Amino acid sequence: MAAVADHVLECDAVVFQRDLNVLPYEIGHTLADHPLFQLDVLVELAQRVAARKNPHMSGGDVYFNEGAIEAGTMPNYDRPEEERARAAELVRKIELAEAWIILKHVEREDGYREVMERAVVDALRLAGPAGEQLFKKIKWFEAIVFITSPNRVTEYHIDRECSWIFQIRGDKAIHLFDRADKDVVPEEELERFYTVDNRASEYKPQFEDRALVYDMTPGTGVHIPVNTPHWLKNGNNVSITLNVNFQFHDAQIANLYKSNYYLRKLGLRPSLPGAHSTIDRMKAWAFTGALTVKRKLRPGDGVVPPEAKDQKRRIAEMLATAR
Ligand SMILES: [Fe+2]
């Protein structure tokens, strides 16, 4: 197995702490020549992830789409079980496939787990005093590999997770928008996103000139805070990108958006999350209570998987020895 460098993530600690999960910023990393991210090795990884009998996601841990798209396109990435095995073939012919392939939860595989855990420890150390509190709020950490064909676009979207992306092969431009800009991210869109529609965020070409564009090259990357809209376009080359993300524990923010979604449906104009901390807490409690009742009916829902607990234990041990 390839050794993991003594660090993966590089960033100025002042910038890292100032803008953590608020604004995007550039990072550097040590993975550009890492053997686990070479195409022939990724073909084998795609085979293993596609063949999982107990995938993390109910729809499987492999998603892909073929053909050219634009920033505002909403392609279908869902793959029935019988199609998932094609992912490895697409990776093999990625140069010509006009494809976008996503391999989720690669930290379940030997080698990739060590890379992700090293990146997580680096992030938590760079976070300084806030790192300890941040660690407690995390439900699990995930690593995703994206493999994309030359000139392929990844459509505009937002994510629930707080991410760092590491460009490993090829050039790729990422267009990021300020989540605080309510022309770009109307509150109603976030409420629909967290409540009923994973694809509620809508690309608005009239605001494209407000995007912050980073031209990523191997060895560079960016931080993407929760709810920060983004879309990407490859250069004229195959791109390999790693995403390491933090998923928060209590979904408190999600519950605020859900609560506001229903209040707005009643004709009310709810306060924005963060505007009134007491009201926020009441809304979140109301929703957490509703979820607890639901969980009694469906015991599997929302339970943290045992591997996530093992992962947090290992990372806590690494953090303790790193001090
Ligand atoms: Fe994303």
pLDDT digits (tens, 9 = 90+) for 70-95: 899 888 877 888 888 899 999 999 99
Alpha helices by DSSP H, listed for 184-276, are 187-195, 252-265
Kindly tell me if the per-residue pLDDT of 1 is higher than 60.
no
pTM of the model: 0.87
DSSP 243: E
CATH superfamily for 9-250 is: Cupin (2.60.120.650)
Q: What is the pLDDT of residues 122-144, one digit of tens each?
A: 999 999 998 988 999 899 999 99
Give me the mean pLDDT over the 232-257 stretch: 88
Give me ligand 1 centre to Cα 300, in Å.
Answer: 27
3-class SS at 198?
Answer: coil
Give me ligand 1 centre to Cα 108, in Å.
Answer: 20
Cβ-in-10-Å burial (0-12, 13-18, 19+) of 193 comes to buried
Domain locations along the chain? 9-250
Give me ligand 1 centre to Cα 226, in Å.
Answer: 10
Give me ligand 1 centre to Cα 224, in Å.
Answer: 8
Give me ligand 1 centre to Cα 323, in Å.
Answer: 32
Give me ligand 1 centre to Cα 3, in Å.
Answer: 28
Are the C-beta atoms of 85 and 124 separated by less than 8 Å? no
Tokens of 91: 């990776």
Give me ligand 1 centre to Cα 155, in Å.
Answer: 9
Give me ligand 1 centre to Cα 101, in Å.
Answer: 13
Angle at the Cα of 66 from the Cα atoms of 162 and 53, rounded to 5 degrees: 65
Tokens of 206: 């009239």
Give me ligand 1 centre to Cα 83, in Å.
Answer: 23
Give me ligand 1 centre to Cα 165, in Å.
Answer: 9
Give me ligand 1 centre to Cα 297, in Å.
Answer: 32
The residue among 45, 26, 34 whose CA lies nearest residue 8 is 34
Q: At 160, phi and psi to the nearest 5?
A: -80, -15
Give me ligand 1 centre to Cα 135, in Å.
Answer: 22
Per-residue confidence (pLDDT) for residue 301, from 0 to 100: 39
Give me ligand 1 centre to Cα 304, in Å.
Answer: 23
Q: What is the pLDDT of residues 147-198, one digit of tens each?
A: 999 999 999 999 989 999 999 999 999 999 999 999 999 999 999 998 878 8
Give me ligand 1 centre to Cα 157, in Å.
Answer: 6
Give me ligand 1 centre to Cα 296, in Å.
Answer: 32
Per-residue confidence (pLDDT) for residue 300, from 0 to 100: 37
Kindly tell me if the per-residue pLDDT of 291 is higher than 70.
no
DSSP 244: E
Give me the mean pLDDT over the 308-316 stretch: 92
Give me ligand 1 centre to Cα 57, in Å.
Answer: 17
